[in-house]
Structure 1
Amino acid sequence: MSRLPPLKALRVFQVAAECGSFKLAAEKLHVTQAAVSQQIKLLEAFFDEPLFTRLNREIRPTPSALQLLPFIQQAFSLIEEGSKALEADAFPHQLKITSIPSFAAQWLIPKLGVFQAQQPDLSCFISTSLDLHDFSDDSQDLAIRFGLGGFAGLKERMIAHDYILPLCHPMLFDSLKRGERTLDEMPILLDSSPELAPLNAAFQAKFGAPSKVALQVEDSSLLMNAVLNGQGVAPIRYSLAFELIQRGQLVCPANVYWNSDFRYYLVAPEAYFERHKVKVFSQWIIDEVSVIEKSWQAYKQQAGLTLQLL
């Protein structure tokens, strides 16, 4: 016989034979008793012989069914073992994370020592990429992404909002206060990534004409470095800059801000989130990034920032 019997019918047959009852099999499989009977009839038609003797209050496997049952039990056992092997963590003491470059450089790496002190048995491997890993191999356990969500085929967990505000070096801000230049005379620095076009347009409308754009990059870390070196004013994510603001290394020259449409997400196959190492890291980073939101709410109120619409 070259054809294989229907897998669903074989599973129903196994449970029915082990329970000795179509009713109990239906309860175990969370289907109706009629659905169980239908699958058994389908299998009997396939083999062209009865597999159960129907009595008043019970069923009894036929000799052919008893001959078939151990093979079916072994087959489903092998399928279960194979599934567990795919879900198993081959490297339980290695945590492999892929992150967007700006978050890795400005936030994750500086704080990762705290996590490693709490989890000394875990070795962390950090790689950076703007593209989402497809998790088709064991090279990554978890991705940190900044976007709109909706990562197809993967589970996502939103961990933080973000906000955009104009920032510059204190030296440039001091020149404003001394009247040496006006805000609309400051060079504009931008991240020219396509998804930031609406923000850049709003920023330029607020601070000057397109001809004032002195520098464009396609990386938030590069933009941050340019601002720290006093090259101009730029729209910067608060999550990347809040500690620099607290230390007085960056200042906000205008009391405005924009809500970011993007969010920070943890992304991975659903089964990966059940791994112990991913669980402990997820909880740690959620606790840590909550500090950013608390800091933002305090700073926004203290600085008297006004929301601008994109």
Structure 2
Amino acid sequence: MVMRGPTPSKDVRLPPLAAIQAFEAAARLGSFERASEELFVTASAIGKRIAALEGLLDVTLFIRSSRGAALSAAGREYLEQVRTALDLLSDASLHKRGEPKLETLRVVSTPTFARQVLIPALPSFTTDHPDVELEILLSIPYLDIMPPNADVWIRFGSGKYPGLHARQLTQDPVFAVCSPGYLKARGPIMRPEDMAPADLLRCPMEPWRPWLAAAGLDWPEPSRGVWLVDLGMMLAAARAGQGVALTRRSLAAEWLDEGKLVRLLDVEIPSESQYHLCTESARAPGGAAQAFSLWLAAVCQRASQWPCGSQADQE
């Protein structure tokens, strides 16, 4: 019997496990520095291990820039393969036998949605899905700051995002609110014209001009007053009595119901910008992502039906 060796054309070299661990940790945590903290080595060592791995595979796994390193397309594909291999190795270890397998779900959300909608409702998801380990990170839409390598993204906008499949979560109209104290000091506001002396809080995510037009006011977009780059900060400023803000039911329902904010006038407008849950178009979402998507859609549906506080009693 003749024993045959491996096919000469096939490279059977295996990457060092340390290099694979360095790559997976850097990809999952989003930076070489955080990977070095987890693996108890220097960031330089992480970089050298990944560079050696790229040399062995003859591909670029990370795109380096002055702002850090982001996974390349080849890196994302290799990450899926590496995670599968590491999961198999982990499951084969004796200390892992008999333990429930956790599926990590990395969620990136806008700050206001996370604070006003996601976090208050989160216990119902974690209770029903104890096998899912959530990682929640924040993005800043106006500054286009987005953590890499997420499983799902909650984004605010038109829903048209290249490379992502978007599921619309909200269909909120936009209306004006202020604090009871501010209304008492500046009111009454019975007609749109009574808004003239009001301090209109400004946010690039929620411009005033469409609402003013719907109210019959031929006023330009405000050019003075507090300018905030986050919907939640604008809402908090209104609650603190600093002026009038534009908001929507899913974000302001709790404060309206508690009487910390009141609606002004009977004017609301549809908005082209809504919240969407996004996943990568190139790969099917995992079981945890699908469960999270269905759960969050139900949460947003309930939020849109909450009583949003009565309109301000100004009579």
TM-score category by the smaller chain? Answer: 0.5 to 0.7
Distance in 2, matches of 1:173 and 1:253, equals: 9
Structure 2: where are the runs of 5+ without partners? 1-76, 88-101
Deviations 1:227-284 (A, max 9, x none): 0100111111322101211111110121111111112211111465531111111111
Larger-Rg structure: 1
Structure 1 residue 126: deviation in Å?
1.0
Q: Letter of the aligned partner of 1:294 in structure 2?
A: Q
Alignment counterpart, residue 251 of structure 1, candidates 259, 262, 266? 262
Distance in 2, matches of 1:148 and 1:163, equals: 14
Give the structure 2 partner of residue 163 of structure 1: 173
Distance in 1, matches of 2:118 and 2:86, equals: 25
Give the structure 2 partner of residue 264 of structure 1: 275
Q: From the superposition, tell whether residues 173 and 208 of structure 1 become closer, same or farther in structure 2 (CA, over 3 Å).
A: farther
What SS class does the counterpart of residue 223 from structure 1 fall into?
Answer: helix
Give the structure 2 partner of residue 108 of structure 1: 118
Alignment counterpart, residue 279 of structure 1, candidates 286, 290, 293? 290
TM-score normalized by structure 1? Answer: 0.59
Q: From the superposition, tell whether residues 178 and 289 of structure 1 become closer, same or farther in structure 2 (CA, over 3 Å).
A: closer
Q: Letter of the aligned partner of 1:142 in structure 2?
A: V
Structure 1 residue 189: deviation in Å?
0.8
Deviations 1:56-107 (A, max 9, x none): xxxxxxxxxxxxxxxxxxxxxxxxx989838969785221100112111222
Q: From the superposition, tell whether residues 204 and 303 of structure 1 become closer, same or farther in structure 2 (CA, over 3 Å).
A: closer
Give the structure 2 partner of residue 190 of structure 1: 202
Give the structure 1 partner of residue 42 of structure 2: none
Deviations 1:174-233 (A, max 9, x none): 342499xx542221111135x737547648984977678421111111111110100111
Distance in 1, matches of 2:254 and 2:85, equals: 36
Name the % identity.
26
More helix by share: 1
Alignment: residue pair count: 216
Deviations 1:94-140 (A, max 9, x none): 211001121112221222122112222322111111238596xxx31
8 Å CA contact retained: 1:159, 1:286: yes
Q: From the superposition, tell whether residues 177 and 275 of structure 1 become closer, same or farther in structure 2 (CA, over 3 Å).
A: same
Extract structure 1 runs of 4+ deviating beyond 6 A. 81-84, 207-212
8 Å CA contact retained: 1:132, 1:143: no
Q: Letter of the aligned partner of 2:200 in structure 1?
A: I
Distance in 2, matches of 1:159 and 1:183, equals: 32
Structure 1 residue 161: deviation in Å?
1.3
8 Å CA contact retained: 1:89, 1:275: no
Q: Equivalent residues in 2 for 1:51-200 (5 A)?
A: 85=81, 93-129=103-139, 130=141, 131=144, 139-175=149-185, 176-177=187-188, 182-193=194-205, 196=207, 198-199=209-210
Give the structure 1 partner of residue 299 of structure 2: 288
TM-score normalized by structure 2? Answer: 0.58
